[in-house]
C-alpha cells in the first residue's frame, strides 16, 4: 500500500507552451480529427473572480463530461460500448486578463448512476496561483429543472446555493447556444460558488 502524493498549487507559471489551440474545444478529440457529429454544440464561458470580486488571470480550468448520450469511454461505464468515439470529454482553458475562460463542447447527456439519475452536467476543476488544491465545481444547465430535482449531487447542495451551479443562457453565437457560468473562488456566503470535496 502507498500513500497518495500531496497536492500543490499549479502556480502562476504553467507553461503557455503546453497549450495548443483547440485544447478548450471538446468537440474535437485530437488535432486534425473531425469534430463529433453527436449532440448539440454549445459554448460555455464565464469569469473567474476571487475575494473582493477581483478577476483572476491565468487560472487553469479543466472540464470533464459525458458525451451527448451520457456515456464515458471508460471501463467504469457499463454503456462504454455506446460512447461516442469522436468525443474525449476533456478540455483545458486558461483565463485572460479579465479572468474569462471559454469552452466549446456538446451538451452532455444525463445518465443513470448507482447513486441516482444524473442531470446533464460538466465538472470543472480550477487551478491557479493561490489554490493549493484544485477547486472543483459542477455546471448544470437550465431547462432541466425536473432532472436537477432528483440529481444525487445537486441534492447535497444546500437549496439556496443550487442556482449558483446552473449556467445562465447567454444567447447564441453563430447559431450556437451560449451558456455563462461565472466562478467566484472566494467571497461571502452569498457570493461564493459551491465547491466539492474529492
Partner 1 sequence: MNHETVPDRFDPWPPGIQPDVPIAGYPNTWTHTPSQPLIRRPATRTEATFPLRLHRKLPCGEANLAEPIPGRPAIGQLMHLAGRVLDEDGRPVRGAVVELWQANASGRYFNPIDQRAAPLDPNFVGNGRVRTDEEGRYAFFTIKPGAYPVPVKETWWRPPHVHFSVIGPSSLSRLVTQMYFAGDPLNALDRILQSVPDEAARQRLIARDLPPAEVGDQWLGFTFDIVLRGRHATPSAP
The terminus-to-terminus CA distance of the chain in angstroms comes to: 20
Contact 75, 2 (CB under 8 A): no
Distances (CA, A) of 84 to 71, 110, 138, 164, 176: 8, 14, 22, 30, 20
- What residues between 86 and 145 interact with partner 1 by CB under 8 A? 88-91, 111, 113-116, 118, 121, 123, 125, 127-135, 138
Q: Which of 76, 146, 160, 175 binds partner 1 (CB under 8 A)?
A: 76
Interacting residue with partner 1 among 67, 72, 95, 140 (CB under 8 A): 72
Nearest-approach distance from CB 51 to partner 1, in angstroms: 4
Burial status of residue 132 (CB atoms within 10 A of its CB: 0-12, 13-18, 19 or more): exposed
The footprint of Fe ion on this chain (CB under 5 A) covers a number of residues equal to: 1
> In the 8-state DSSP scheme, what is residue 163?
G
Q: By rule CB under 8 A, what count of residues binds partner 1? A: 78
CB of 31 to partner 1, least distance (A): 8
User: 50 is in the binding site of which of partner 1, Fe ion, none (Cβ under 5 to 8 A by kind)?
Assistant: partner 1
Amino acid at each position: 500500500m502507498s500513500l497518495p502524493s500531496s497536492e500543490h498549487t499549479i502556480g502562476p507559471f504553467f507553461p503557455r507552451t503546453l497549450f495548443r489551440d483547440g485544447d478548450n474545444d471538446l468537440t474535437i478529440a485530437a488535432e486534425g480529427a473531425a469534430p463529433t457529429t453527436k449532440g448539440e454544440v454549445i459554448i460555455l464561458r464565464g469569469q473567474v473572480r476571487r475575494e473582493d470580486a477581483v478577476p483572476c488571470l491565468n487560472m487553469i480550468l479543466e472540464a470533464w463530461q459525458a458525451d451527448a448520450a451520457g456515456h464515458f469511454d471508460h471501463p467504469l461505464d457499463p454503456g462504454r460500448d455506446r460512447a461516442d468515439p469522436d468525443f474525449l470529454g476533456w478540455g483545458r482553458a486558461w483565463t485572460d486578463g479579465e479572468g474569462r475562460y471559454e469552452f466549446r463542447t456538446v451538451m452532455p447527456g444525463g445518465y443513470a448512476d448507482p447513486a441516482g439519475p444524473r442531470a446533464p452536467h460538466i465538472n470543472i476543476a480550477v487551478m491557479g496561483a493561490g489554490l493549493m488544491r484544485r477547486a472543483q465545481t459542477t455546471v448544470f444547465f437550465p431547462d432541466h429543472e425536473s432532472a436537477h430535482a432528483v440529481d444525487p449531487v445537486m441534492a447535497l447542495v444546500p437549496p439556496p446555493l443550487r442556482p449558483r451551479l446552473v449556467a445562465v443562457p447567454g444567447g447564441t453565437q453563430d447559431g450556437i447556444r451560449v451558456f455563462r457560468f461565472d466562478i467566484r473562488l472566494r467571497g461571502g456566503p452569498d457570493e461564493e460558488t459551491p465547491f466539492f470535496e474529492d
